[in-house]
Every structure is written in structure tokens, then in C-alpha cells.
């Protein structure tokens, strides 16, 4: 028989991960719901996950490679930008959905208890399909260019995991903050749009880093996705391994994720009262 103790003096350092795990079926069901709703009643269905990155890459190629003449060394530009785009798109989508998730689920949250963290966490799963398709597109393009993929690709799962963790870290922070301060609902779309310019998605980071002072570069790499994208490129395309500055990004991922869990825990107590 289950035994539950609700104590007002409970320590906020207890994350109660075992309870979270017992709700894993809810996690999958919520993810399935999101998947179904996303593609329900669309004529092309999952094909959209292919069309969107393909068209965006075409525009990038036209704009940055042909138009602005941005060089990416021996790697064809479309492959270079493709890796960045796939990672950023996943990050932005999960961050946005997770960030809005608690407010979107307020009618459930006010009526029934389950570990609230399940809601933003479940957003990470559906995006993986799009992520995989976008990366698949890069592999197809590599075949087309007769580009030999790097053997580093065995490390790709590790970087995908890091991408998941980083997007959840930011997403959970935003979801908890937007409960307290609705202003953060306005911040999310802004971050998605603005963030892409400050992330080396469509260009190599060098073209900025070389032109700004050291402290500027450090700020640039506080963006967790900056180092991530370099990592993904190193895995898939065999570009130079992540620079030292990238480790700032990796540290940020860890910091954001762990702190988000505790901040969420703190806000979780009052969700039903203020949502």
C-alpha cells in the first residue's frame, strides 16, 4: 500500500526522483498526446518534419553561402549549417514548449496531483523525432556531396543527450519562472528568434569570436547551445574538436539543468495557488 506524507516542513533539497519514475507511463502518454496532436489532421503529417529543415537550409545556403560568402572550410556549407540547424531547432522547440507547458496545463494542474515536472519533461520526447529527421537530412546531403562522415559519429548519442539536457534545463527554468511571472511568456519567443543569431547555427563561430575581446567570447559561450553545436559538428563532420571556450557551454548545461530542478521544486509547491 502506498504511503504518502505531506509535511509543510519538507526540505526543498529532496527531489523525490523515485516518485517521478513511478509516473513514467504518464510521461510517455503525454508525449504521445503531443505527437498525435501535432500531426493530427495535417495532410502531409510527419513529412512536415522533413520539409521544414530542408527549406530553411535552402534559404540559409542562398543567404549565407552564396550571398554573404561565408566560408566553412572543406565542409560543404549545407552540411555545416544542417548540423547547427537540427540542434538549434530541437533546442528551441523543447525550450519553448516546456517553458509554456505548465501554464498550458493549468486546468489539469489545478485539479489533480502528479509530479509537475513530468509536464515539461515530456516535451523532450516528441522533438526527438524532428531532430532525427533533420539529422537524417544531413546524412542524405552527405551522400549527395560524397562527403565522408567522421568516425567521431560514435559520440553523437552523447551530444544528443547533452542537447536534451540543455533544452530541458532552460525549458524547466522558463516554465517555473512563467508561473510566477507571466512576463516570461513574452520572453520565450524572443529567445527563440534572437538566440539563433547568437548561436553558431548558420555561420562558424570564428567570424565573431575573432572580432571581439576575450570577455565577449566568454559571454558568447555562456550560451549552452554554442558549444553543443560545435560538438555535434565535430561528431558528424569531423571539424576541429570543441574549443576550450566550449567547456563554458557544457558547464552551463549542467548548471542550468540542476538548478532548474531545484527552482522548479520550490515553485511546484505554489503552482495550484497562483497559476
Partner 1 sequence: MSEIAIDVQNLSKKYLIGNTASGSLRESITNLFSKNKWSATEEFWALKDLTFDVKTGEAIGIIGKNGAGKSTLLKLLSRITEPTTGRIEINGRISSLLEVGTGFHPELTGRENIYLNGTILGMTRQEINSKFDEIVDFSGVEKFLDTPVKRYSSGMKVRLAFAVAAHLEPEILIIDEVLAVGDAEFQKKCLGKMEDVAGHGRTIFFVSHNMGAINTLCHRGILLQNGKMVYSGETDEVISRYLEQNYSGSHEGSVNFEPNFDHKITMIKASVSAESKAGNDKIQAGENVEICVEYKVKQDLVGSNLSVSLFKEGILILRNWDTDKFPEYLEKRKGGTYTAKFVIPSSFLTLGQYSVSLATGIINQGPIEVKSDCLSFEIENHYDDLSKTSNNKGKGGLVNLPITWEIRNS
> Quick check: 11 binds partner 1 (CB under 8 A)?
no
Cell numbers linked to 97: 514548449
Contacting residues for 107 by C-beta, under 8 A, at least 6 apart: none
> Quick check: 144 binds partner 1 (CB under 8 A)?
no
Nearer of residues 112 and 154 to partner 1, judged by Cβ:
112
Contacting residues for 247 by C-beta, under 8 A, at least 6 apart: 227
Nearer of residues 122 and 163 to partner 1, judged by Cβ:
122
274: buried, middle or exposed (CB in 10 Å: 19+, 13-18, 0-12)?
A: exposed
For residue 202, give the DSSP letter.
S
> Quick check: 29 binds partner 1 (CB under 8 A)?
yes
- Choosing from 69, 146, 154, 183, the residue that interacts with partner 1 (CB under 8 A) is 183
Which range in 55-63, 180-188, 193-201, 209-217 contacts partner 1 by CB under 8 A?
A: 180-188
Q: 537540427: which residue's cell?
A: 86
> Quick check: 113 binds partner 1 (CB under 8 A)?
yes
**Closest separation in Å from C-beta 169 to partner 1:** 21
Which range in 105-113, 140-148, 195-203, 244-252 contacts partner 1 by CB under 8 A?
A: 105-113
- Choosing from 11, 18, 25, 244, the residue that interacts with partner 1 (CB under 8 A) is 25
Candidates 11, 4, 26, 5; CA nearest to 265 is 11
**Closest separation in Å from C-beta 38 to partner 1:** 10
Side-chain-facing half-sphere of 52: CA atoms under 13 Å: 15
Which range in 23-31, 82-90, 217-225, 234-242 contacts partner 1 by CB under 8 A?
A: 23-31
Q: Which 254-273 residues touch partner 1, going by CB under 8 A? A: 269-270, 272-273
Cell numbers linked to 228: 553543443
**Closest separation in Å from C-beta 26 to partner 1:** 4
Which range in 37-45, 131-139, 165-173, 194-202 contacts partner 1 by CB under 8 A?
A: 37-45
> Quick check: 8 binds partner 1 (CB under 8 A)?
yes
275: buried, middle or exposed (CB in 10 Å: 19+, 13-18, 0-12)?
A: middle
Cα dist from 265 to 17, 46, 214, 239, whole Å? 11, 35, 36, 40
**Closest separation in Å from C-beta 173 to partner 1:** 14
Q: Phi and psi of 114, rounded to 5°?
A: -160, 165
Candidates 221, 22, 36, 232; CA nearest to 125 is 36
Determine the size of the site formed for partner 1 (CB under 8 A). 40
Cell numbers linked to 146: 560524397
Q: Applying CB under 8 A, which residues contact partner 1?
A: 1-9, 23, 25-26, 28-30, 32-33, 36-37, 40-41, 107-114, 180-184, 269-270, 272-275
Amino acid at each position: 500500500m502506498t504511503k504518502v506524507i505531506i509535511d509543510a516542513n519538507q526540505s526543498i533539497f529532496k527531489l523525490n526522483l523515485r516518485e517521478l519514475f513511478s509516473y513514467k507511463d504518464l510521461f510517455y502518454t503525454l508525449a504521445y498526446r503531443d505527437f498525435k496532436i501535432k500531426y493530427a489532421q495535417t495532410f502531409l503529417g510527419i513529412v512536415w518534419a522533413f520539409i521544414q529543415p530542408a527549406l530553411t537550409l535552402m534559404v540559409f545556403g542562398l543567404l549565407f553561402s552564396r550571398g554573404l560568402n561565408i566560408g566553412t572550410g572543406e565542409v560543404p556549407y549545407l552540411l555545416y549549417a544542417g548540423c547547427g540547424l537540427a540542434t538549434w531547432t530541437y533546442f528551441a522547440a523543447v525550450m519553448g514548449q516546456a517553458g509554456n507547458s505548465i501554464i498550458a496545463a493549468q486546468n489539469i494542474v489545478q485539479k489533480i496531483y502528479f509530479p509537475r515536472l513530468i509536464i515539461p519533461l515530456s516535451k523532450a520526447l516528441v522533438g526527438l523525432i524532428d531532430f532525427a529527421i533533420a539529422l537524417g537530412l544531413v546524412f542524405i546531403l552527405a551522400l549527395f556531396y560524397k562527403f565522408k562522415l567522421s568516425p567521431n559519429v560514435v559520440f553523437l548519442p552523447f551530444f544528443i543527450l547533452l542537447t536534451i539536457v540543455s533544452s530541458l534545463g532552460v525549458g524547466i527554468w522558463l516554465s517555473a519562472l512563467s508561473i510566477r511571472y507571466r512576463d516570461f511568456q513574452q520572453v520565450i519567443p524572443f529567445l527563440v528568434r534572437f538566440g539563433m543569431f547568437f548561436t553558431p547555427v548558420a555561420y562558424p563561430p570564428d567570424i565573431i569570436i575573432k572580432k571581439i575581446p576575450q570577455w565577449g567570447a566568454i559571454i558568447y559561450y555562456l550560451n549552452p547551445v554554442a558549444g553543443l553545436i560545435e560538438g555535434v559538428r565535430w561528431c558528424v563532420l569531423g571539424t576541429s574538436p570543441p574549443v576550450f571556450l566550449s567547456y563554458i557551454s557544457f558547464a552551463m548545461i549542467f548548471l542550468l539543468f540542476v538548478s532548474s530542478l531545484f527552482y522548479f521544486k520550490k515553485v511546484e509547491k505554489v503552482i495550484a495557488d497562483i497559476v
